[in-house]
Amino acid sequence: MKLANSPRAHACVGTVLVLGALGCDGQILGKSDTSGPGLSSDPSSDAGPGSGAGVTNTGPTDDELRAKDPGLFDIALKYFPDQAAAPGKKRLFRLTRQQLDLTTQNLLPKHYGVTALASLPRDPLQTNYEYADNLSFSAANFTPLTEWVEQMTAKVKADPASVVDCAADKNSAACLQTAAQDFVRRAFRGVASDATLTRFSDFFSASVAEVGIAEATADLVNITLTSPGYVFREEVQTAADQRLLPVQLLQNLSYTLADSPPEAVGLTAPAANAKALRDSDVTQAVEQVLATPAARAKLLRFFTTWLEVKEPQDFDLSASVYPEFTPAVAAAVVDDTRRFLTAQLGTALPTLRDVTETTNALVSAPSAFLYGLSTAPSDGKVALDPLQRLGIFSQPAVLASHSGPTTTRLVKRGVFFTRKVMCLPLGAPPQGVNTTIPAEVMGTERQRVESVTNEPRCLGCHAFINPFGFMQENFDAMGRYRTMDAGQPVDAAINVDFLDEGPLSVSSPVDALRGFTRSLRFQQCFTRQLFRFYSGRDETAADDPLLRQLFFEFAQNSAQDIIGMLRHLAAAPAFNSRSEAP
Amino acid sequence: MKLRKGLTRRDLIKSFGPLAFVLLPVARAMGYAPGGAFKGAPRFVMFFIGGSYHSPSVRPASIDALSTTPLAPLAPYAKDLVVFQGMRIHGGSPKSDGYQEEHGAGLIGCVTGNDYHYSKNDSYYAYTDHESIDIAIANAYQARPELAALPFASLHVGGGAHSDADNVGLGQRYISYRKRQAGDAQYGNAIEPVQNAGQVYDQLMQRVNLLCAKDSNQPSTDNSAMVAALARKKSLLDFRIADVNAAKTALGMDSEHAHKLDGLLDGWREVEKANDAELAAAKSGASGASMACPAGARPTGNGQNKNNLDDLSPVHDQMIELVKLAFAWDLTRVVAFTLSGASSGERWPSQGVNQAHHTLEHSNDVAGQNIMGRYYSEKFASLLKALGGIDDGDGHTALFNSSLVLGMECWSDSSSGHYLKDIPFVLAGQGAGAFQTGRVVNANGRSNNDLLVSVQRAAGIDSNVFGLASLCQGPIV
């Protein structure tokens, strides 16, 4: 008998981190089966909820941080003041469409074809992120899921031996049972009780007798891929110290960092009798996941999601006002930015500075005109005019994603920066405030906006919004550099006094971007945004101790070490622990 | 679609005698039996257009004076309408428990008439604990024996169902809510509309194909293979439902974690319901034969993530046809149709409207608002026309036997206000005789709660309250 595994799984055998052997000699905290009963089991057999003991945040203490850099620590404390650490709440996390793709690709490489991304409707996004709370099934995505699975199982029916191959054993009952259980265990990433496995394998055996091996195997795949054990991962089973059980913890790491199942990033499930993982095991697992291409691909997705870079078909520029911004140009600018991020984030130790402060870009033939070029070099690499552009915030894909349809939408650009790039609080306009720019107000977009926002009750918000918008006025709605607007010179000068570094007074977008992206406020916002994206939720006050450490280490000595921040985040006990909501 | 009189449930029983009891699932699924005379329990549609019409432009002196307003496309249906003036949402000011703004209040007030919360002081973070009117009516119908087996308790469809800033928060996206259950996530009680017309078509046609007449002249064929396939599907469904229930049990059946699996369970139960009906029909050899099977291509429109009415228009048209299909075959009695969320980001470039509706409102672009207003009126008129084309028997059409609310949120004028007063709601259809239409009604400041009370009473829910009791005076029509 053999269970036909994916080639990828076989390829991983030599490099897997066998956690069951490495780190399972600690205190056993639950029952012997620490894989946990998961989503389909007898609740009496689980390790039960944690004892309620608080989570100790490892890493440097506040005193140690303060000793390293008192000034920076004070700022860290200003942004992240709370002291009591607590784990995130227990939750059921439906796999995102990306995760469904990578998980299925790993499980059924021969049959995976059409992507979940293309087959299932987009999930509701909050601050452009896929939050666990909002991921579930409804009439809108249930049928697309079943149809997506159906087209794969049709292929399985034509090649059942790729999933269950008991031919050598003449399809003996024992072989079929074992093969079915092996498939389900693997599909459920190790989170399946014996009772669950028996239920699936019994059904499979009965099916073979009823409809034959080909259809029975296809049905086995179908019921497995649509089971809660496959499409959800649970962060509910914890040990007494609130730490996720080993198998759930590995899933937390692999999906959080790489959108992939543990097996696909070379992690194997602990043995059935595995105990709690040691911190060193977790650290090693984090390193292993972070070293994978999948982790870098997810990092790229973080940047495009954080910066709300649109898909080519979603740009909102009016074809009549900006006829040059054709679908081909839209596709090119997005691809330029993705290739740029791939290059900048693909180094061993990428820093945020590599993304925000470089004057290099990748340009393609359709997008060259946006940079004032008649053509693009063959390798696409262009050294930009350092007086005009700086880093990703001056790239057309980012600029045009927040423009349009007929203007630069200065305020919208500013609101994006305020909320998403600098994390400044912003409410709705107060009652009775006129947010209209009268049609008779002529001049540059800046002048028009200033004409209606320069009154005291507006400046509460527009003191933040406007500078961020004004500094981008050298870029038109498509992201093309310009010096004139409505027949008058563009005035991109700004003066702000809300940075920890003191007042900033600059007159060009490059100087403004340099000032903002080097600021500690920007770096604390980056810390928050990265936490939100990777955690699938908003931060709470109980996350402050961890966020304080992340921010401090990120900002200290201007390190801006992105991988270092992910490493610290994923290995933190608080990140791998869960408690019921208070 | 050609309509013809056919089998009613009574006919079915008369024709098949004791065998009719075997066909009971089919008969029940048929409801009143398509093609037969419609009985009671009017259909309900919430047709939500996002931002309100520009209110001052929608103040006809009489129901015969719609032609000078953005409601002009509805003029041919004037006798089937009640146009409200002076109606408020939330009594004119948001009924939240903290932060207040009118877009969230407008949407949630429109569909629930009830209070709500914000998770952040931002208009895009509104949410509610309360049931929307469509769900209240659907639940009431499900509790009525003669309607319990309708294939779909409610349909939630749309195109462009999002606000101008879904990437901020989801507070202005949903128009349908069930009552909050313990442990629901913030939007765990909100219902996402299906915006893919092909998907809706498949869902409906699976049921229609059970009911429609294929070729009654053909001799009956051996369908044992089909019965076996359906029986096999049933055993798979039994396994799946048991599988989800086992997971729920493991998580604590009433825990918030278990509730997270409800969408999956509901999905399988819908499939089971359809399969059971199909199996019963296959076993009996009955083909319904009440109306001809509809012909036509599967629609391909998808309104997800779109805000351009040039793109959305065909999707809206397809969805209207699908609502007609659902009603004609009595697959459901309740539809929620989302044409936009609140703070609408929709625009209409081919008509020269390049700014989002939300921006038009706050820019006092009355002309732009009215151009778009006419669009929504045209689509509502198309829906009325579609319902008017369904013969319910007894001299009535489906339009007579329906209550349709043209819903909207707050409006704005040249000084950028956010007004929850003078909302020009429109009620269409006679609610199976409950409403006297063909008039303009001055609400004199009463809240839309009373409109919701009117439609719930027409639906047989004997209550003078819907939503906040303090906003209710009783049925307004």
Give Rg (Cα) of chain B. 22
**Distances in whole angstroms, Cα of residue A541 to Cα of each of A54, B119, B361:** 15, 15, 38
B247 to A228: CB separation less than 8 angstroms, yes or no: yes
Sign of the torsion formed by the C-alpha atoms of A411, A479, A401 and A526: negative
Q: Determine the distance from the C-alpha atom of residue A513 to the mean position of all C-alpha atoms in its chain, rounded to a whole number.
A: 24
Output the pLDDT for position B286. 61
The shortest CB-CB distance from B250 to any of A39, A90, A138 is to A39
Residue B214 pLDDT class (50, 70, 90 cuts): low
Q: If we measure between CA atoms, which residue out of A486, A471, A487 comes closest to residue A399?
A: A471
A429 touches chain B (CB under 8 A): yes
Cβ neighbours of residue B1 under 8 Å, at least 6 residues apart?
B291, B292, B294, B295, B324, B325, B328
Q: Which residue of A has its CA nearest to B350?
A: A320
Output the pLDDT for position B398. 97
Separation of alpha carbons A171 and B107, rounded Å: 60
Output the pLDDT for position B127. 96
Sign of the torsion formed by the C-alpha atoms of B44, B49, B52 and B57: negative
Q: What is the mean pLDDT of chain B?
A: 88
Average pLDDT value for residue range A200-206: 97
A229 touches chain B (CB under 8 A): yes
Q: Decide if pLDDT at A482 tops 80.
A: yes
Partners of B249 on chain A (C-beta within 8 Å) are 43
**Distances in whole angstroms, Cα of residue A284 to Cα of each of A208, A238, A255, A569:** 43, 21, 16, 14
A308 to B167: CB separation less than 8 angstroms, yes or no: yes
Q: Are B473 and B450 in contact (CB under 8 A)?
A: yes
Q: Which residue of B has its CA nearest to A132?
A: B185
Separation of alpha carbons B472 and B438, rounded Å: 24
CA angle, residues B358, B360, B362, in degrees to nearest 5:
75
Q: Which of B134, B168, B271, B298 to mutate to test the interface with A (most CBs of A within 10 A)?
A: B168
Shortest distance, CA B340 to any CA of chain A (angstroms): 15
The shortest CB-CB distance from B414 to any of A222, A231, A436 is to A436
Higher-confidence residue of A79 and A21: namely A79
B236 to A222: CB separation less than 8 angstroms, yes or no: yes
The shortest CB-CB distance from A136 to any of B101, B168, B260 is to B260
Shortest distance, CA A158 to any CA of chain B (angstroms): 18
B349 to A319: CB separation less than 8 angstroms, yes or no: yes
Output the pLDDT for position B165. 75
Task: Give the β-pairing of B334-338 and B155-158.
Answer: parallel
Q: Which residue of B has its CA nearest to A435?
A: B416
Tell me the residue type at B242: A
B167 to A226: CB separation less than 8 angstroms, yes or no: no
Q: Can you spell out the DSSP letters for A54-121?
A: PPP--S--HHHHHHH-HHHHHHHHHHS------PEEPEEEEPPHHHHHHHHHHH-TTT--S-HHHHSP
Using CB atoms within 10 Å of the CB of residue B191, give its burial: 0 to 12 exposed, 13 to 18 middle, 19+ buried.
buried
Shortest distance, CA B444 to any CA of chain A (angstroms): 23
Separation of alpha carbons B347 and B349, rounded Å: 6
CB neighbours of residue A475 within 10 Å: 27
Burial B78-113 (b: 16+ CB within 10 A, else e): bebbbbbbbbbbbbbebbbeebbbbbbbbbbbbbbb
Output the pLDDT for position B403. 98
Partners of A140 on chain B (C-beta within 8 Å) are 156, 192-196
What is the percent of chain A with per-residue pLDDT over 90, rounded to a whole number?
A: 77
Separation of alpha carbons A287 and A91, rounded Å: 25
Partners of A428 on chain B (C-beta within 8 Å) are 101, 122-123
Residue A428 pLDDT class (50, 70, 90 cuts): low
Partners of B251 on chain A (C-beta within 8 Å) are 39, 43, 92, 234, 236
Q: Can you spell out the DSSP letters for A36-56?
A: --TTSS-GGGS--S---PPPP
pLDDT tens-digit series, residues A381-412: 999 999 999 999 999 999 999 997 888 989 99
Find the distance separating the first CA and the last CA of chain A, reported in whole Å: 49
Partners of B194 on chain A (C-beta within 8 Å) are 139-140
Cβ neighbours of residue B341 under 8 Å, at least 6 residues apart?
B50, B107, B161, B162, B163, B166, B172, B173, B174, B175
DSSP bridge pairs for A233: A93
Q: Decide if pLDDT at A56 tops 60.
A: no
SS (H, E, C) B226-246: HHHHHHHHHHHHHHHHHHHHH
pLDDT tens-digit series, residues B413-426: 754 578 999 999 99
Output the pLDDT for position A21. 36
CA dihedral B22, B27, B29, B32 (to 10 degrees): -170
Phi–psi pair at A238, nearest 5 degrees: -130, 160
What is the percent of chain B with per-residue pLDDT over 90, rounded to a whole number?
A: 71
Q: Are A139 and B194 in contact (CB under 8 A)?
A: yes
Separation of alpha carbons A16 and A267, rounded Å: 5
The shortest CB-CB distance from A143 to any of B195, B199, B304 is to B199
Q: Are A165 and A4 in contact (CB under 8 A)?
A: yes
Locate A413 and state its tokens.
């650009």
Residue bearing tokens 């140009």? A329
Which helix (H) or strand (E) segment holds residue B380: the answer is helix B366-388
B349 to A405: CB separation less than 8 angstroms, yes or no: yes
Separation of alpha carbons B10 and B18, rounded Å: 12
CA angle, residues A462, A465, A469, in degrees to nearest 5:
125
Partners of B415 on chain A (C-beta within 8 Å) are 432, 434, 436
Report pTM: 0.88
Partners of A419 on chain B (C-beta within 8 Å) are 168
The shortest CB-CB distance from B247 to any of A40, A137, A436 is to A40
Output the pLDDT for position B101. 86
What is the DSSP code (8-state) at residue B25?
H
Cβ neighbours of residue A339 under 8 Å, at least 6 residues apart?
A362, A380
Lowest mean pLDDT among A174-188, A356-370, B215-229: B215-229
Residues 170-199 in A contacting B (C-alpha not used; CB under 8 Å): 196, 199
Partners of A125 on chain B (C-beta within 8 Å) are 166-167, 170
Output the pLDDT for position B221. 60
What is the percent of chain A with per-residue pLDDT over 70, rounded to a whole number?
A: 87
Q: Decide if pLDDT at A46 tops 60.
A: no
A46 to B250: CB separation less than 8 angstroms, yes or no: yes
Report cis status (omega within 30 of 0) of the bond before A293. Answer: no
A90 touches chain B (CB under 8 A): yes
Residue A7 pLDDT class (50, 70, 90 cuts): very low
Q: Decide if pLDDT at B219 tops 60.
A: no
Output the pLDDT for position B163. 82
pLDDT tens-digit series, residues A311-336: 998 888 888 889 999 999 999 999 99
Partners of A139 on chain B (C-beta within 8 Å) are 156, 191-192, 194, 266-267, 270
A232 to B232: CB separation less than 8 angstroms, yes or no: no
Burial B251-266 (b: 16+ CB within 10 A, else e): beeebbbbbbbbbbbb
Q: Packing angle between helix A293-306 and helix A562-571, nearest 10 degrees?
A: 100
**Distances in whole angstroms, Cα of residue B79 to Cα of each of A137, B305, B400, B428, B452:** 42, 36, 11, 9, 20
Q: Decide if pLDDT at B42 tops 90.
A: yes
Residue A39 pLDDT class (50, 70, 90 cuts): low
Partners of A92 on chain B (C-beta within 8 Å) are 251, 257, 260-261
Tell me the residue type at A285: A
CB neighbours of residue B356 within 10 Å: 25
Residues 25-44 in A contacting B (C-alpha not used; CB under 8 Å): 37-43
Q: Decide if pLDDT at A133 tops 70.
A: yes
Phi–psi pair at B303, nearest 5 degrees: -95, 10
Q: Which residue of B has its CA nearest to A430?
A: B101
A125 touches chain B (CB under 8 A): yes
CA angle, residues B346, B347, B350, in degrees to nearest 5:
145
A37 to B123: CB separation less than 8 angstroms, yes or no: no
Separation of alpha carbons B200 and B191, rounded Å: 15
A405 touches chain B (CB under 8 A): yes
Task: Give the β-pairing of A232-235 and A494-496.
Answer: unpaired
Residues 54-73 in A contacting B (C-alpha not used; CB under 8 Å): none
Locate A339 and state its tokens.
């290739």
Tell me the residue type at B43: R
SS (H, E, C) A520-581: HHHHHHHHHHHHHHHHCCCCCHHHHHHHHHHHHHHHHHHCCEHHHHHHHHHHCHHHHEEECC
CB neighbours of residue B342 within 10 Å: 31
A423 touches chain B (CB under 8 A): no
A109 touches chain B (CB under 8 A): no
Q: What is the mean pLDDT of chain A?
A: 88
Q: Can you spell out the DSSP letters for A324-351?
A: T--HHHHHHHHHHHHHHHHHHHSSSS-B
Q: Which residue of B has its CA nearest to A203?
A: B239
Residues 475-534 in A contacting B (C-alpha not used; CB under 8 Å): none
Q: Which residue of B has its CA nearest to A416?
A: B168
Burial B374-406 (b: 16+ CB within 10 A, else e): bbbbbbbbbbbebbbebbbbeebbbbbbbbbbb
* ipTM score for this prediction: 0.88
Residue A419 pLDDT class (50, 70, 90 cuts): very high
Task: Pick left, alpha or beta for residue A128 (phi over 0 → left; psi -120 to 50 → alpha; otherwise beta).
Answer: left
Separation of alpha carbons A78 and A101, rounded Å: 41
Tell me the residue type at A410: L
Q: Decide if pLDDT at B278 tops 60.
A: yes
Separation of alpha carbons B33 and B328, rounded Å: 10
Shortest distance, CA A234 to any CA of chain B (angstroms): 9
